[in-house]
Structure 1
Amino acid sequence: MVLQRNKPIPVWGWADPGEKVSVSLVKTGANEKSLTVKADKDGKWRIDLPAKEAGGPYDLVVKGKRNSLTVGDVFIGEVWICSGQSNMAWTVNAVTNAEQEKQSADFPMIRHITIPRVISLKEEEDIKETPWVVAGPATVGDFSAVGFFFARELFKDLEVPIGLVNTSWGGTQIESWISREGVDSFDEFAGITAKLPASVEELNERRKKLLLDKISAEQGALPDASEARRFSEAAFDDSGWKSLTLPVVFDLQLLPYFDGTIWVRKTIDVPAFESNGPALLSLGVMADADETYINGVKIGETPLKNKMPRFYHIPANVLKSGKNTIAIRIRDTEGSGGFSGRADQMLLVQGQTQVALDGDWKYRVAEVIDNKQFTGPNHAATLLFNSMVAPLVPYALQGVIWYQGESNAGRAVQYRKSFPLMISDWRRKWKEEFPFLFVQLASFKAAGGNSETGSTWAELREAQTQTLALPKTGMAVINDIGERDDIHPRNKQDVGKRLALNAFKVAYGKDVLFSGPTFREMKKEGNAISVAFDHTGKGLVAGTDKYGYLKGFEVAGEDQKFHWAKAEISGDKVVVWADNVPNPVAVRYGWADDNLEANLFNAEGLPAQPFRTDDWKAVTAENKFK
Structure 2
Amino acid sequence: MSLPVAAQAKLELPLMFSQGAVLQRDMPMHVWGWSAPGAKVTVGFDGAHAIAKADAKGRWDATLPRHAAGGPFAMDIDDGSEHRVLRDMLVGDVWLCSGQSNMEFTMAEVRDAAAEQARANDPAIRHFKIPHSWSLQPQDRLEGGSWVAASPSTVSNFSAVCWFFARDMKARTGVPQGLINSSWGGSSVEAWTDARTGKVDVPALAARIKKADDVEEAKLDQTRQRISRWPSMQGDVVDAAGKPAWAAEKLDTSDWADIPVPAYWETVGYYDMDGVAWYRTAFTLSATEAAQGVTLSLGAVDDSDRSYVNGRLVGETVKQWNAPRVYKVPASALHAGSNSIAVRVDDLGNGGGMHGDAAALYVQTAKGERRPLAGTWRFHTANVTLVPTPTRHLTPTLLYNGMIQPLLGYPLRGVVWYQGESNAWAPDSMAYRQKFGDMIQAWRTAWNQPELPFIWVQLANYKSGSDTPAQSPWAELRESQSAVLSLPHTGQAVIIDVGNPDDIHPTNKQDVGHRLALAARHVVFGDAIVYSGPVYREWRADGAKAVVSFDPEGAPLAVRGGGNAVGGFEVAGADGHFQHAQARIEGGSVVVSSKEVAHPASVRYGWSDNPVDANLTNGDGLPASPFRTAPSP
TM beyond 0.5:
yes
1:436 aligns to 2:451 (yes or no): no
Output one character per residue of 1:449-503: Cα deviation in whole Å (capped at 9) or x when no partner.
37x3522211110110111112211111111222222222333222222212221
Letter paired with 2:43: V
Letter paired with 1:419: F
1:425 aligns to 2:425 (yes or no): no
Does structure 1 retain, via aligned residues, the 8 Å contact 2:226–2:270? no
1:98 aligns to 2:113 (yes or no): yes
Q: Distance in 2 between matches of 1:91 and 1:226?
A: 37
Does structure 1 retain, via aligned residues, the 8 Å contact 2:564–2:585? no
Does structure 1 retain, via aligned residues, the 8 Å contact 2:71–2:91? yes
- The match for 1:622 is none
- The match for 1:516 is 533
- The match for 2:53 is 38
Output one character per residue of 1:339-363: Cα deviation in whole Å (capped at 9) or x when no partner.
237646867999x9x9967555499
Q: Distance in 1 between matches of 2:153 and 2:347?
A: 36
Give the Å deviation of 1:192: 7.3
1:458 aligns to 2:475 (yes or no): yes
Does structure 2 retain, via aligned residues, the 8 Å contact 1:58–1:75? yes
- The match for 1:535 is 552
Output one character per residue of 1:250-278: Cα deviation in whole Å (capped at 9) or x when no partner.
2268776456999999999x9x99xxxxx
Give the Å deviation of 1:33: 4.6
Give the Å deviation of 1:585: 0.8
Of the three residues 499, 504, 516, the one matched with 2:521 is: 504
| SS state at 1:414 partner | helix
- The match for 1:400 is 415
Output one character per residue of 1:94-136: Cα deviation in whole Å (capped at 9) or x when no partner.
3333333333333332222111122333322222443212223
Give the Å deviation of 1:421: 2.0
TM-score of the pair, normalised by structure 1:
0.78
Change beyond 3 A, Cα 1:490–1:289: closer
Q: Percent identity?
A: 38
Of the three residues 492, 495, 498, the one matched with 1:481 is: 498
Give the Å deviation of 1:573: 1.4
- The match for 1:169 is 184
Output one character per residue of 1:24-72: Cα deviation in whole Å (capped at 9) or x when no partner.
112xxxxx55322222222222212222122222101112233222211
Letter paired with 1:514: Y
| SS state at 1:156 partner | helix
Output one character per residue of 1:63-86: Cα deviation in whole Å (capped at 9) or x when no partner.
223322221111111111111112
| SS state at 1:479 partner | coil
- The match for 2:246 is none
Of the three residues 1, 25, 42, the one matched with 1:22 is: 42
- The match for 2:158 is 143
Change beyond 3 A, Cα 1:209–1:423: farther
| SS state at 1:483 partner | coil
Change beyond 3 A, Cα 1:41–1:222: same
| SS state at 1:92 partner | coil
Letter paired with 1:468: L
Change beyond 3 A, Cα 1:158–1:366: closer
Of the three residues 206, 213, 228, the one matched with 1:196 is: 206
Q: Distance in 2 between matches of 1:152 and 1:73?
A: 20
| SS state at 2:198 partner | helix
Number of aligned residue pairs: give it.
Answer: 582
Change beyond 3 A, Cα 1:595–1:193: farther
Does structure 2 retain, via aligned residues, the 8 Å contact 1:287–1:306? no
**Aligned ranges for residues 186-225 of structure 1 at < 5 Å?**
191=201, 194-197=204-207, 204-209=213-218
1:13 aligns to 2:33 (yes or no): yes
Does structure 2 retain, via aligned residues, the 8 Å contact 1:557–1:586? yes
Q: Distance in 2 between matches of 1:382 and 1:535?
A: 38
Does structure 1 retain, via aligned residues, the 8 Å contact 2:359–2:374? no
Does structure 1 retain, via aligned residues, the 8 Å contact 2:565–2:585? no
Change beyond 3 A, Cα 1:494–1:244: same
Give the Å deviation of 1:553: 0.9
Q: Distance in 1 between matches of 2:230 and 2:464?
A: 45
Change beyond 3 A, Cα 1:68–1:203: farther
- The match for 2:629 is 613
**Aligned ranges for residues 223-622 of structure 1 at < 5 Å?**
245-251=260-266, 257=272, 284=298, 335-340=350-355, 343=358, 358-361=373-376, 371-410=386-425, 411-433=428-450, 434-447=452-465, 449=467, 452-540=469-557, 542-617=558-633
* Structure 2 residue runs without a partner (length 5+): 1-20, 233-250, 288-293, 306-310, 330-335
1:89 aligns to 2:104 (yes or no): yes
Letter paired with 2:35: A
Output one character per residue of 1:151-184: Cα deviation in whole Å (capped at 9) or x when no partner.
1222222222211111112222212111222221
Does structure 2 retain, via aligned residues, the 8 Å contact 1:481–1:596? no
Letter paired with 2:525: Y
Output one character per residue of 1:359-382: Cα deviation in whole Å (capped at 9) or x when no partner.
554999999x98452444435222
Give the Å deviation of 1:404: 1.0
Give the Å deviation of 1:142: 2.5
Q: Which moved more, 1:562-571 or 1:204-213?
A: 204-213
Letter paired with 1:606: L
| SS state at 1:184 partner | coil
* Structure 1 residue runs without a partner (length 5+): 27-31, 186-190, 274-279, 291-298, 313-318, 618-626
Q: Distance in 2 between matches of 1:426 and 1:533?
A: 32
Of the three residues 48, 57, 61, the one matched with 2:72 is: 57
Give the Å deviation of 1:533: 1.0
Change beyond 3 A, Cα 1:495–1:253: farther
Q: Distance in 2 between matches of 1:64 and 1:416?
A: 46
Letter paired with 1:485: D
